[in-house]
Chain A
Amino acid sequence: MLETIGVRSMNDLLVDIPQSLRTDSLQLPDGLSELETMAQVSALAGRNKVYPDRLTFRGGGVYRRFIPAAVAAVTSKPEFYTAYTPYQAEASQGTLQAIFEYQSLIAELTGLDVSNASLYDGATAVAEAAMMAHVHTGRNEVIVSGYVHPEYVEVLRGFGDGRGIKVRKNVEPNKKTAAVIFQQPDFLGLLVDQRAITSAAHDAGALAIACVDPISLAILAPPGEYGADIAVGEGQQLGLAPSFGGPHVGFIACRKELVRKLPGRLVGIAHDAQGRRGFVLALAAREQHIRREKATSNICTNHSLCALAAAVYLTYMGPYGLRQVAEVGFRRAHNLAERLAALPGWERAFPDRQFVNEFPMRVPKASVVLRQLSRKGILGGLEVGRWFRELKGVVTFTCTEVNDARALDELVEALRS
């Protein structure tokens, strides 16, 4: 090859690099065989403690759910996972159509007009939604109402900083307010009065941004039904492993009046000269590669493969499967809440508030109790006092379809002994 190029050595190809910058080697060990590589990686994996799904009662944004085998059967197809962003539409119809289906599924689930092709995670989805509201209203403040995931709020503050958006907590919306952001159910699992928050936002001329749990939408009124302008959320529960927090997928959907402000990729229908239907990246003029410094988001791709997983999951479940999964979690969580509240010294935090499948308990000596559970192989609830001082001693517990009846008994027995 060097001969074809017309040079004598590799160094002749690297002449543009100043000699003083050249290094001979990397300060890294030499390569390994596949066998040795896996031995090292497996050793690291072996140093982590994995709790069984059925004995995991911790949520806080990442949940154990049943993942149908069909999800991995599709996402592990190399035609999907080793393809690039679908720049050449004719050679990427598989990805494009799957994303179009994902968009349609999210739109159906949220009851809103249009969903984008996905974002990085729930946190960045909240931040991008706030930016949309800022651009749409020309206002510079967003209000976070109630217990929104603290990491989402932290990311929102960081995004807001560079973009001149101020984040305020739990104040009444006014004429400076671009949007009111709430989580339904909230970070503690409790239901908020979504209709009251939405109309207060609208009365002040602000947008209402609902951060929602996608599976709860099989039971709860969807954001589009109560007039929210933008729905966002974390899609991990739709067929993705916890994986220490990522990769997961953020979703975002909005009313059609806001579509031009939607960040990221959008797939739409187009036709070829023979009238055959195909799918293309649409409304690209919104995006950074065209608008450069005038773009309202720098996002360049999406979490396509995770969106594909979500599409397969939702298609597998269908409307009634999804409802079944949501209801099982609901019933089990309410059963567990009652039994935990009967433990000596335990009581429900916010007993007057409704919840779906995650709920806060006041727990005496919470840290000690959780450590004891861990020793018995149970991942107990999440101490939320580390984020909210007023919630010291409050632990949120989660139940889904993976926590079978016997697992609930085991948890309660472990706490009794």
Chain B
Amino acid sequence: MTEALSFELSRPAVDPPRLPEADVAGPSPADLLPREALRGRPPGLPRLSEPEILRHYSRLASMNYSISENFYPLGSCTMKYNPVVNEVAAALPGFAGLHPYQDEDSVQGALELMWRLERALCAVVGVDRVTLQPAAGAHGEWTALRMIAAFHHSRNDSRTEVLVPDSAHGTNPASAALSGFHVVEVKSGSDGRISLADLESKLSPQTAALMLTNPNTLGLFEREILDIAEMVHATGAMLYYDGANLNAFMGICRPGDMGFDAVHMNLHKTFTTPHGGGGPGAGPVGVKSELAPFLPTPTVERSNGHLMLDHKRPQSIGRVRSFYGNFGMLVRAYAYILAMGGDGLSQASQDAVLSANYLRKLVETDLDMPHEGPCMHEFVASAHNLHEDGVRALDIAKALLDRRFYAPTIYFPLVVPEAIMVEPTETESKATLDSFAQAIKEIVAQAKTDPQSLHDEPKNLPVGRLDEVAAARRINAYLQGQSEDPVLRWKAPSEGPSREAP
């Protein structure tokens, strides 16, 4: 089952929707503006009736896997259930209807929510202040590094390097480089944890910061975190915490206590704001007091019960996006924290760790487990043991899709060959974990008996495996002027042949 594009469904006979007339005396654009300022012909938007639009998007919706319907054990992404009450909260007219440039007096409730959310996040991760402005995790990383750069700069300390473990997410080195730093990679040891010896050799007076995730991307807690913090701080560098894995230890321990100076959090992971098919998210950054002067403006301040936006912060790195962040996502996260409470958040993390260890145990004889447990909230397995059968992590992922499970993260972290990274989260039942483990067992058995059939999966989805190599070739041909077929957009048939299969 595939669905035609809205452009292909378009019918010229469809009337535009009924909209108000101007109802006042006033000139039209053509009366006042010179011809060269005006659009020559109308934009080529599709023309569909409302029922056609709704059916089109309903059919598209049915082609998605989502948390609402499927187990989504996507490692490092914390795909937990998104409570529906969050959506109701964010849609309240008292929030959704606010203009960002209203007077402070008229938005006291919104500012109070931001202030309380900041306090709650401070409590969870053990920092002094939080900026809610960054729109995503990568944006938060970059914001934190800008603050760290400003901190060193304020002390006339020109440090040029940021250390990043080889197991880190790609955004870490990218954010560091885009903040003006040279990236130096630190190796993992054979136990999957950062090599202290290698770290020692890379730390220097040039080091501005070490970026670390704990538990790391292998789902392992860095046992020597206190030693790491001491080594980093001894050279005058800062310790940055990538909050991708915060769901592992709320109420169990705190990055601030481990010695981290800056911490980013993904509200769309740990705090259940929906992923939306790839955003919007929110990536607040918490900092210890020595970094607080450098927070983006404006901050939310409270005095005598009155809330205000503080724009006058002379050492601030300035704003990192327009307005005050993805406010609607902040409302959702705040509603979640209220509903869960300190007790609920602690329980959530414990359950997440329990689920991961349980699932790991169920599949430990089916797949390679390159590192010893226990794990925290996720584990990394490897399909390397199926190498001789000609079966790869990709095949397992596709076979899981056919069994109505979304696939784990595969081929990440890079340090594990044929990696399969599983994060079940706390909101899945034991029955779901059992059936997922059963599916893995069946697939591994199939790999032994009929590996070819695995290469053909998925068979039960709207499309089979898509040929990305051929797609890339066609895109290259377009970009190099050898083809008129844009591939990256629809174009009317007279302008290009992108409608049809090659």
Determine which of B40, B54, B67, B103 lies in contact with A83 in the assembled complex, contact meaning CB atoms within 8 Å. B67
B314 beta carbon closer than 8 Å to chain A: no
Determine which of B54, B345, B491 lies in contact with A26 in the assembled complex, contact meaning CB atoms within 8 Å. B345
Contact B488 A101 (CB under 8 A): no
Task: State whether A323 and B37 are in contact (beta carbons under 8 Å apart), knowing that A25-B343, A300-B171 are contacts in the complex.
Answer: no
* Distance of A26 Cα from B335 Cα, bound (Å): 17
Instruction: Mark interface residues in A92-135 (1 if CB within 8 Å of B CB, else 0).
Output: 11110111110111011101011101101111100000000000
A231 beta carbon closer than 8 Å to chain B: no
A145 beta carbon closer than 8 Å to chain B: no
Q: How far is the CB of A154 from chain B (nearest CB, A)?
A: 5
Residues of A with C-beta under 8 A to B94:
42, 44-48, 50
Residues of A with C-beta under 8 A to B89:
37-38, 41
Determine which of A58, A108, A283 lies in contact with B99 in the assembled complex, contact meaning CB atoms within 8 Å. A58
Contact B279 A306 (CB under 8 A): yes
Determine which of B22, B101, B325, B354 lies in contact with A331 in the assembled complex, contact meaning CB atoms within 8 Å. B22
Contact B471 A37 (CB under 8 A): no
Determine which of B58, B108, B251, B463 lies in contact with A25 in the assembled complex, contact meaning CB atoms within 8 Å. B251
Closest-by-CB residue of B relative to A247 is B280
Contact A316 B17 (CB under 8 A): yes
Which of the four size classes fits the interface of chain B?
35 or more
A51 beta carbon closer than 8 Å to chain B: yes
Contact A107 B329 (CB under 8 A): no
Which of the four size classes fits the interface of chain A?
35 or more
B353 beta carbon closer than 8 Å to chain A: yes
Task: State whether A293 and B36 are in contact (beta carbons under 8 Å apart), knowing that A83-B275, A316-B50 are contacts in the complex.
Answer: no
Contact B19 A79 (CB under 8 A): no
Contact A247 B93 (CB under 8 A): no
Closest-by-CB residue of B relative to A39 is B338
Task: State whether A28 and B120 are in contact (beta carbons under 8 Å apart), knowing that A14-B252, A332-B22 are contacts in the complex.
Answer: yes
B243 beta carbon closer than 8 Å to chain A: no
* Distance of A101 Cα from B135 Cα, bound (Å): 24
Q: How far is the CB of A161 from chain B (nearest CB, A)?
A: 7
Contact A293 B183 (CB under 8 A): yes
Contact B328 A247 (CB under 8 A): yes
Determine which of B145, B226, B465 lies in contact with A90 in the assembled complex, contact meaning CB atoms within 8 Å. B465
Determine which of A24, A123, A244 lies in contact with B327 in the assembled complex, contact meaning CB atoms within 8 Å. A244
Instruction: Mark interface residues in A264-288 (1 if CB within 8 Å of B CB, else 0).
Output: 0111111111111111101100011
Task: State whether A121 and B135 are in contact (beta carbons under 8 Å apart), knowing that A82-B68, A314-B45 are contacts in the complex.
Answer: yes
Contact A241 B96 (CB under 8 A): yes
Contact A94 B464 (CB under 8 A): no
Q: How far is the CB of B276 from chain A (nearest CB, A)?
A: 3
Residues of B with C-beta under 8 A to A304:
276-280
List 15 A-B residue pairs with CB atoms under 8 Å apart, sorted by A's residue number: A31-B339, A41-B331, A90-B398, A155-B321, A162-B180, A241-B96, A241-B328, A246-B329, A276-B501, A282-B472, A291-B170, A300-B137, A306-B276, A318-B17, A335-B26
Task: State whether A315 and B170 are in contact (beta carbons under 8 Å apart), knowing that A93-B60, A247-B329 are contacts in the complex.
Answer: no
Instruction: Mark interface residues in A171-211 (1 if CB within 8 Å of B CB, else 0).
Output: 00000000000000000000100110000000000000000
Contact A81 B361 (CB under 8 A): no
Contact A45 B26 (CB under 8 A): no
Residues of B with C-beta under 8 A to A296:
178
B419 beta carbon closer than 8 Å to chain A: no
Determine which of A6, A47, A159, A245 lies in contact with B323 in the assembled complex, contact meaning CB atoms within 8 Å. A245
New A-B pairs, 6, CB < 8 Å, besides A121-B323, A266-B488: A93-B63, A162-B179, A242-B96, A288-B171, A289-B170, A335-B22
Residues of A with C-beta under 8 A to B258:
21
Contact B326 A247 (CB under 8 A): yes
Residues of B with C-beta under 8 A to A44:
94, 109-110, 112-113
Contact A13 B374 (CB under 8 A): yes
A414 beta carbon closer than 8 Å to chain B: no
Contact A90 B479 (CB under 8 A): no
Task: State whether A277 and B501 are in contact (beta carbons under 8 Å apart), knowing that A152-B322, A305-B280, A374-B103 are contacts in the complex.
Answer: yes
Q: How far is the CB of B214 from chain A (nearest CB, A)?
A: 10
Contact A265 B278 (CB under 8 A): yes
Instruction: Mark interface residues in B72-104 (1 if CB within 8 Å of A CB, else 0).
Output: 101001010010010111101111111111110
Contact B357 A13 (CB under 8 A): yes
Determine which of B24, B345, B502 lies in contact with A332 in the assembled complex, contact meaning CB atoms within 8 Å. B24
Closest-by-CB residue of A relative to B331 is A41
Closest-by-CB residue of B relative to A105 is B45
B234 beta carbon closer than 8 Å to chain A: no
Residues of B with C-beta under 8 A to A7:
357, 374
* Most chain A C-beta atoms within 10 Å of own C-beta, residue among B108, B322, B334, B376: B322
B2 beta carbon closer than 8 Å to chain A: yes
Determine which of A97, A221, A327 lies in contact with B5 in the assembled complex, contact meaning CB atoms within 8 Å. A97
Q: How far is the CB of B307 from chain A (nearest CB, A)?
A: 10
